[in-house]
Amino acid sequence: MNYKISKRAASLAPSLTLAIDSKAKAMKAAGEDVVGFGAGEPDFDTPQHIKDAAAKALAAGFTKYTPSAGIPELREAIAAKFKRENGLTYKSSQIIVSCGGKHSCYNVILATCEEGDEVLIPAPYWLSYPEMVKLAGAKPVILQTTDKTEFKVTPEQLRAAITPNTRLFILNSPSNPTGSVYTPEETKELGDICVEKNVLIMSDEIYEHLLYDGAKVKSVASFSPAHYDHTIIVHGLAKAYSMTGWRLGFLAAPEPIAKAIDAVQSHSTSNPTSFAQKGGVEALNGPQDHLPVWLAEYDKRRRYAHAKLNSIPGLTCVNAKGAFYLFPNISKTGLNSSEFCAKLLEQEKVAAVPGIAFGADEYIRLSYATSMANIEKGLSRIEKFCKALVK
Ligand SMILES: *Cc1c(COP(=O)(O)O)cnc(C)c1O
């Protein structure tokens, strides 16, 4: 049988992260002592009070369809979060709850982009953005950055890339995979250009709360009514509440865009899981005291890993100001990122993600959402590996 695969599906790049991950898992299953730096999720458990709220809803029979865009209680809790933490006013009707922040991103791109449109994506990028743009039939346009600018696009770079076909600019700060954070001034400047050129901004703020060294973020939507009108904020509970498996994300958008996204979602997934949404209400409205504890732990690991990486011959690493990733430069080892990660896994049993997956082949991504003991063990193996390469 000759199966015809649609152009859309066939155009997608297979996930390199998954290939490394499945190899690491197979080695672990075979009893090998693998250290994993691949995790894209917190290593902490979901706080108990959030689990309790969902369990209670489940036991009480809250198991039926909800409105496609989410239960009113959760949309109100999200609107209250934007008011309280960001000084942004959204009506519940401008908020859509989706099945994860990833799903929110996909909905935004699907509802705003089509054939002939260009979407500006700074690299290193979260690996799903370009693929989502292709699924929508639009064209990803990559704005390459390096560690010399701490992986941030400059206003000149953004301005030069805008054409009459530019529809959307994707901003992700703090960033996955680099951990870089735009200052409020830098964010405003990029926003000013998008307003001037009438380009929409999808601002992925999922790592908003994971900040270090006194870094501050300000949502691009918050600088003026015009910025607000040009911005769709994508967010979720996965990272700050360690709820990756719950599949709960949300977005805030100008009313007509929210309406279009609601229509898309109502014909694809319908509502996110009913009782998970009750957990989401508790996450946003309940105590937030887990966060400083987690942040202190991430920060300790980040400081250790950053210093250690820079002491290893052949590696240099700018420090991350947010999220839970470091993105060291491996170019002096003479290997590209796929070779580096494949050999590292084979020879030293350390799993890392090749930068090529994020559009940056001179780097690898290391997640420090893993224990200090693992970080120490894994980095000393990387040290041994690099010493043999660089000499
Ligand atoms: C983790 C992540 C998301 C959303 O993850 P979900 O599990 O789908 O909520 C969105 N953007 C970035 C950059 C992420 O790293």
Q: Where are the domains of the chain?
A: 7-46+290-389, 64-285
| CB of 280 closer than 6 angstroms to any ligand 1 atom | no
Q: Note the pLDDT of residue 107.
A: 98
329: CA distance to ligand 1 center in Å?
Answer: 24
* Residue 126 CA, closest ligand 1 atom number: 13
| CB of 358 closer than 6 angstroms to any ligand 1 atom | no
123: CA distance to ligand 1 center in Å?
Answer: 16
Query: Which stretches within the chain are classed as H helix?
Result: 7-10, 16-29, 48-59, 72-86, 101-112, 128-135, 155-161, 184-197, 225-230, 255-266, 274-285, 290-310, 337-343, 372-390
Q: Note the pLDDT of residue 363.
A: 98
| CB of 238 closer than 6 angstroms to any ligand 1 atom | yes
| CB of 204 closer than 6 angstroms to any ligand 1 atom | yes
Beta-bridge partner residues of 36: 351
Query: To which H or E segment does residue 169 belong?
Result: strand 166-172
388: CA distance to ligand 1 center in Å?
Answer: 36
User: Contact at 8 Å (CB) between 332 and 224?
Assistant: no
Domain 7-46+290-389 has CATH 3.90.1150.10: yes
User: Contact at 8 Å (CB) between 200 and 194?
Assistant: yes
105: CA distance to ligand 1 center in Å?
Answer: 9
Beta-bridge partner residues of 251: 96, 234
Q: b/e for 205-229, b at 16 or more Cβ within 10 A?
A: bbbbbbbbeebebbbbbbbeeebbe
Q: Note the pLDDT of residue 211.
A: 98
| CB of 172 closer than 6 angstroms to any ligand 1 atom | yes
240: CA distance to ligand 1 center in Å?
Answer: 11
- Give the tokens for residue 183: 């200052």
Question: What are phi and psi for residue 241, nearest 5 degrees?
Answer: -115, 5
| CB of 203 closer than 6 angstroms to any ligand 1 atom | no
Question: What are phi and psi for residue 308, nearest 5 degrees?
Answer: -60, -45
| CB of 244 closer than 6 angstroms to any ligand 1 atom | yes
Phi-psi map region of 151: left, alpha, beta (phi>0 left; psi -120 to 50 alpha): left
347: CA distance to ligand 1 center in Å?
Answer: 31
pLDDT digits (tens), the chain, 391 positions? 889 999 888 888 777 777 777 888 899 899 999 999 988 899 999 999 999 999 999 999 999 999 999 999 999 999 999 999 999 999 999 999 999 999 999 999 999 999 999 999 999 999 999 999 999 999 999 999 999 999 999 999 999 999 999 999 999 999 999 999 999 999 999 999 999 999 999 999 999 999 999 999 999 999 999 999 999 999 999 999 999 999 999 999 999 999 999 999 999 999 999 999 999 999 999 999 999 999 999 999 999 999 999 999 999 999 999 999 999 999 999 999 999 999 999 999 999 999 999 999 999 999 999 999 999 999 999 999 999 998 7
* Residue 244 CA, closest ligand 1 atom number: 7
101: CA distance to ligand 1 center in Å?
Answer: 5
What pTM does this model have? 0.97
Q: At CA 251, angle to CA 277 and CA 247, rounded to 5?
A: 40
176: CA distance to ligand 1 center in Å?
Answer: 9
Same fold, 7-46+290-389 and 64-285: no
Q: What class, spelled out in words, does domain 64-285 have in CATH?
A: alpha beta
Pairing of the two strands 249-252 and 95-98: antiparallel
The amino acid sitting at 341 is C
Q: Note the pLDDT of residue 21.
A: 76
Among residues 68, 94, 83, 102, which one has the least CA distance to residue 266? Answer: 68
DSSP secondary structure, 50-91, as one string = HHHHHHHHHHTT--S---TT--HHHHHHHHHHHHHHH-----
Q: Note the pLDDT of residue 248.
A: 98
* Residue 236 CA, closest ligand 1 atom number: 9
3-state DSSP call for residue 38?
A: coil
